[in-house]
């Protein structure tokens, strides 16, 4: 993980402007504390803050071709870089061991090469021969990138908003799966998978194909020259990542450098569901397990830093980022620079509990498409920025392009919750790894119900946040919310509190427009709210407030009841969707 920054076509090429570019780039130093570099050609500047994970003794950036006519800064992991290097034997001279140097070799044959990169990335490439440049971002947006425009017509790029928000007239998220070309005059999409059209696929479910695709995705992400580990919450996704890593680690070059012991990490409040489940999985797999505890007050004290690094006021993202932010600092203190994590599974496979109520497979599939397309604004943003705040890199095998093709290419009927057939959420993944002869995980872990990260670290974390923000934001403040924040108006006191901090840190109109907004239940998109009438009255995105969650429902006097936002119980309004009882908690 690195921080990149570039200004192209600047009218000012003075030493003062160079100093300004360096100052902006240093705002990204947390992303790359190992080294920094800058290149200037008249009014064109490229800078990088490096976190050295691959080839730490070489590969400092910017990177150049042999005659220094092409220069690139990149934040990426290119997992097929060795294969590409072989293809250019005798055609291109590589000068470093950096996996990102292959970008230059591929560019020599034109701009349409980005789909040949297997990995995650954000890069800016400048060609001194014709004074043109290109920039690109990976398929799903695992690595962040922003684009801005200066008053002098210059184009700015940055890994994070904080490096350009004060200097650009306007700026926005660089869209995932796109390339920006100065020669062509704008954006074009380079990532065009079949599923993007949201047409319902018909391929049958093949558990062995799904398993093989995921194992390949994990193995390729073990490309590292520094110590690494796995994030392990004890849920299905992180447990499978840990299990596959442990099983195949011995086959990798990483094992030759660091041995076959695998370190795992978890964070939570004392007594939280994740701590217990993670400890059990770690014992089963034989990892060297590290358990970090935090208090609600620890989390509250970190919120302003979290918002600064995450650059969002989205409630769910901040809730989940805070424990991850605290854990990342502890992990980095142990000398670990890279971890694998389980983000992306719920979006691809319909793992969130609200998917139980999808009215048909068409709606189910469209919702998974919407969720995957929005990942760069939610879980990818959280996983990347909350950890890079401390110079820790997170890799996410579920978002491997080949695995995505398999997961999104199967008939969604197989992914749907079906009680009569014994299929719970993410059944296709559970079944694929349900190996009786050589088990990957204990059965009860393999079939553990979904927890949102902010819930799994301890239910009192969210309750504590709500109680704290209730004290900080008065009813009078809430009554004026629409006047003070007419764009994406906060709907509750917790959202209002986060928005106050965000506006103080990032007061520009462009900044607030980078944050997604809209009603959500258990992390749904606004479109899925239409599935159940009662959901429209909820204003809390926690997964606990869907009655299919074990912790949210209790049978009392034959009535379904659900936990509400303040921790009490009320009779839940009931209906039916496809024969499934519906009970939804109305958040207070």
Where in the sequence numbering do the catalytic residues fall?
2
Residue 566's contacts (CB-CB under 8 Å, 6 or more residues apart) are 463, 466, 588
Positions at the binding site for ATP: 231, 267, 341-342
**Hunting for tokens 């730490």 — which residue is that?**
56
Q: Which alpha helices (DSSP H) does 434-480 contain, by range?
A: 443-446, 453-456, 459-472, 475-479
Q: Which residues contact 435 (CB under 8 A, 6 or more apart)?
A: none
Measure the CA–CA gap between 403 and 406, rounded to whole angstroms: 5
Describe the crossing of helices 207-220 and 236-248 by its angle, rounded to 10 degrees.
70
335 Cβ contact partners less than 8 Å away, ≥ 6 residues apart: 227
Cβ neighbours, 10 Å, residue 569: 14
Binding residues: 99, 231, 267, 341-342
User: Which positions ≥6 away from 547 have C-beta within 8 Å?
Assistant: 553, 560, 562, 572, 581, 582, 583, 584, 585
Phi first, then psi, for residue 334 (nearest 5°) are: -85, 0
CB 5 within 8 A of CB 20: no
Closest CA to 171 of 186, 156, 184, 159: 156
The three-point CA angle 324-429-251 to 5° equals 75
Cβ neighbours for 204, distance < 8 A, ≥ 6 positions apart? 410, 411, 414
What does DSSP assign to residue 260?
S
Residues 28, 359: Cα–Cα separation, whole Å: 45
Q: Which of 167, 190, 171, 168 has the alpha carbon at shortest distance from 179?
A: 190
Extract the annotated binding site for L-glutamine.
99
Q: Cβ distance 3 to 153 under 8 Å?
A: no
Query: Beta-carbon neighbour count of residue 66 at 10 Å?
Result: 11
């Amino acid at each position: 993980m690195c921080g990149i920054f570039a200004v192209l076509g600047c009218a000012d090429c003075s030493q003062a402007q160079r100093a300004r570019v360096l100052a902006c780039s240093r705002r990204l130093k947390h992303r790359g504390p190992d080294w920094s570099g800058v290149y200037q050609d008249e009014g064109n500047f490229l800078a990088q803050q490096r976190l050295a994970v691959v080839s730490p003794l070489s590969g400092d950036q910017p990177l150049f071709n042999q005659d220094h006519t092409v220069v690139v800064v990149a934040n990426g992991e290119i997992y097929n870089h060795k294969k590409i290097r072989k293809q250019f034997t005798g055609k291109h001279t590589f000068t470093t061991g950096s996996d990102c140097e292959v970008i230059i070799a591929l560019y020599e044959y034109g701009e349409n090469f980005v789909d040949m990169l297997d990995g995650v990335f954000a890069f800016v490439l400048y060609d001194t021969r014709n004074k043109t440049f290109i920039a690109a971002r990976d398929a799903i947006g695992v690595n962040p990138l922003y684009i801005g425009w200066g008053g002098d017509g210059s184009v700015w790029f940055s890994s994070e908003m904080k490096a350009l928000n004060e200097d650009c007239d306007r700026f926005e998220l660089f869209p995932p799966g796109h390339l920006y070309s100065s020669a062509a005059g704008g954006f074009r999409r380079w990532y065009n998978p079949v599923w993007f059209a949201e047409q319902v696929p018909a391929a049958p479910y093949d558990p062995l194909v799904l398993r093989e695709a995921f194992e390949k995705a994990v193995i390729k992400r073990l490309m590292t020259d520094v110590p690494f580990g796995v994030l392990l919450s004890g849920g299905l996704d992180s447990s499978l990542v840990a299990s596959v890593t442990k099983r195949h680690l011995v086959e990798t070059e990483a094992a030759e450098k660091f041995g076959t012991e695998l370190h795992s990490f978890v964070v939570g409040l004392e007594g939280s569901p994740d701590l217990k489940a993670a400890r059990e999985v770690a014992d089963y797999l034989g990892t060297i397990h590290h358990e970090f505890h935090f208090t609600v007050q620890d989390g509250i004290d970190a919120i302003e830093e979290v918002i600064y690094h995450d650059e969002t006021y989205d409630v769910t993202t901040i809730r989940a980022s805070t424990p991850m932010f605290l854990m990342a600092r502890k992990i980095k203190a142990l000398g670990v620079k890279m971890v694998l994590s389980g983000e992306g599974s719920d979006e691809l496979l319909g793992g969130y509990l609200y998917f139980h109520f999808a009215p048909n497979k068409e709606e189910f599939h469209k919702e998974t498409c919407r969720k995957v397309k929005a990942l760069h604004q939610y879980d990818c943003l959280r996983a990347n920025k909350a950890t890079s705040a401390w110079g820790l890199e997170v890799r996410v095998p579920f978002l491997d392009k080949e695995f995505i093709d398999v997961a999104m290419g199967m008939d969604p009927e197989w992914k749907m919750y079906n009680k009569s057939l014994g299929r719970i959420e993410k059944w296709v993944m559970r079944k694929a790894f349900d190996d009786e002869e050589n088990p990957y995980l204990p059965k009860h872990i393999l079939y553990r119900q979904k927890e949102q990260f902010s819930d799994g670290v301890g239910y009192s974390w969210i309750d504590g946040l709500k109680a704290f923000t209730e004290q900080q934001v008065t009813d009078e403040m809430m009554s004026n919310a629409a006047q003070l924040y007419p764009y994406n108006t906060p709907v509750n006191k917790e959202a209002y509190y986060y928005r106050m901090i965000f506006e103080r840190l990032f007061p520009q109109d462009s900044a607030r427009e980078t944050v997604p907004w809209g009603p959500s239940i258990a992390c749904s998109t606004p479109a899925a709210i239409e599935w159940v009438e009662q959901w429209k009255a909820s204003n809390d995105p926690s997964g606990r407030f869907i009655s299919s969650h074990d912790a949210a429902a209790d049978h009392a006097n034959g009535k379904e009841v659900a936990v509400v936002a303040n921790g009490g119980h009320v009779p839940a309004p009931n209906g039916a969707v496809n024969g499934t009882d519906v009970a939804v908690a109305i958040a207070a």
